[in-house]
Amino acid sequence: MFHDTQPATLRDAGNPDPWAPFRIGHDGEIVALLRQLREGAVPVTLSAPGGAAYTTQLWSLDPSRQQLSFAADDDQPQLQQLVAGDEAVAVAYLDSIKLQFDLHDLLVVHGARSAALQAALPRVLYRFQRRSAYRVRTLERTSPAARLRHPSIPDMLLTLRVVDVSIGGCALFLPMDMPALAPGVRIEGVQFDLDADTRFGAALQIQHLSSFSGSDRGLRVGCEWQGLSGNAERTLQRYIDQTQKRRRALLQL
C-alpha cells in the first residue's frame, strides 16, 4: 500500500513505545537522515494535533544549537495553527522509507526577504517501509500516462507520466513548472494509458510528495487507487505481471 502523510500512532496506554523496532535515537543517525532531507529538497508534511497540515522543505540543520529551520510562508493559516499549538509531527519520504518525527518549540522567524519556521532538533526519529505491495517501474517507451483535471484548477488538463504502479497505487511525475498538488486530495475521473493494451479509469487520492530521483526536475506524487473496478484491477495486475517479465528479459540480454 501507499502509506499517506498522516502520522502513525506511536504510543498506546499499554506500551510507551510499541514501535520500538522502527525507533532511531542515536544523534548521528538522526542528523544523517535529516541532512538527506535537506540536501534532496524533500517535501516534508507537518501536521498539528488539531488537524492542520503544512507541506514545506527543510532549509537548515544546526546540530550544535539543536535546531532545525523549514521554509515558511507567513500568509498560510495552517502555519499559524502549527505555531499556536507549539508542536507538530513531521512526515517525509526517502526512496523506500517513510520518516516520522515530532517537532517542538515552533517559532516563525522573519528575515529581510523570507521567513523560516524554527523547531528543536528531534531526539527520536522513526523509519517505516513505505510500501508492502509489489510495484513495477513502467516502461518509458510505451509512454505511460495519466490524464486528469487539476483538482485546484478544473479548467487545466494535465498529462503526467506514470513512474511506477502496484495493485495498491501509483506514482506520477509532476514537473517543477506545473501547479502543485496537495496530499490528501482525491481526484476523480483519471484516465490511464500504460500501453496499447492497458487503459482504464480510476479515482486517485494523493498520499505524499517526495523528490524525484531521475534526471528530470520535479516531484514524485504517490497516489492510492480509489474505486478501482474489478476489470480495471485485473487489467492492472496483468500489466504488472507482463512488465515484470519484460524487465527480467531485458536484464538477461
How is residue 112 annotated by DSSP?
Answer: S
CATH of the domain at 228: 2.40.10.220
pLDDT recorded at residue 201 = 95
- Which residue, chain included where needed, has cell 507538530? 88
- Are the C-beta atoms of residues 160 and 172 closer than 8 Å to each other? yes
Is a pLDDT exceeding 90 seen at residue 237?
A: no
Asked if residue 139 and residue 125 are part of one domain, the reply reads: no
- Give the pLDDT confidence of 177-209 residue by residue, as tens digits: 899 888 889 999 999 999 998 999 999 999 888
Asked if residue 101 and residue 45 are part of one domain, the reply reads: yes
Say which residue, 21 or 104, is predicted with more confidence: 104
Q: In what order do the strands lie in the sheet with 23-24?
A: 23-24, 125-129, 97-104, 87-94, 43-47, 53-62, 67-72, 115-120, 107-110
- Give the pLDDT confidence of 217-226 residue by residue, as tens digits: 888 899 999 9
**CA dist., res. 72 & res. 79, Å (int):** 8
Asked if residue 180 and residue 112 are part of one domain, the reply reads: no
Asked if residue 76 and residue 61 are part of one domain, the reply reads: yes
pLDDT recorded at residue 1 = 39
Could you tell me if residue 14 is inside a domain? Answer: no
Could you tell me if residue 4 is inside a domain? Answer: no
Asked if residue 115 and residue 83 are part of one domain, the reply reads: yes
Distance of CA 56 to the CA centre of its chain: 12
- Give the pLDDT confidence of 7-36 residue by residue, as tens digits: 565 555 455 556 677 888 889 999 999 999
**CA dist., res. 135 & res. 244, Å (int):** 9
Asked if residue 111 and residue 167 are part of one domain, the reply reads: no
Q: Please report which confidence band the pLDDT of residue 253 belongs to, taking 50, 70 and 90 as the band edges.
A: low
User: C-alpha grid cell for residue 70?
Assistant: 523549514
- Are the C-beta atoms of residues 223 and 166 closer than 8 Å to each other? no
Could you tell me if residue 3 is inside a domain? Answer: no
- Are the C-beta atoms of residues 173 and 127 closer than 8 Å to each other? no
Could you tell me if residue 15 is inside a domain? Answer: no
How many folded domains does the chain comprise?
2
Say which residue, 79 or 194, is predicted with more confidence: 194
CATH of the domain at 94: 2.30.110.10
Asked if residue 38 and residue 103 are part of one domain, the reply reads: yes
Q: Which of 96, 129, 162 is the last residue of a domain?
A: 129
User: C-alpha grid cell for residue 229?
Assistant: 473496478
Asked if residue 183 and residue 237 are part of one domain, the reply reads: yes
Asked if residue 92 and residue 56 are part of one domain, the reply reads: yes
Asked if residue 154 and residue 107 are part of one domain, the reply reads: no
Amino acid letter, 96: S
pLDDT recorded at residue 200 = 95
- Are the C-beta atoms of residues 71 and 30 closer than 8 Å to each other? no
Residue 144: domain span: 135-252
Asked if residue 232 and residue 155 are part of one domain, the reply reads: yes
Q: Which of 79, 99, 129 is the last residue of a domain?
A: 129
Asked if residue 177 and residue 115 are part of one domain, the reply reads: no
Q: Which of 129, 145, 176 is the last residue of a domain?
A: 129
pTM strictly above 0.75: no
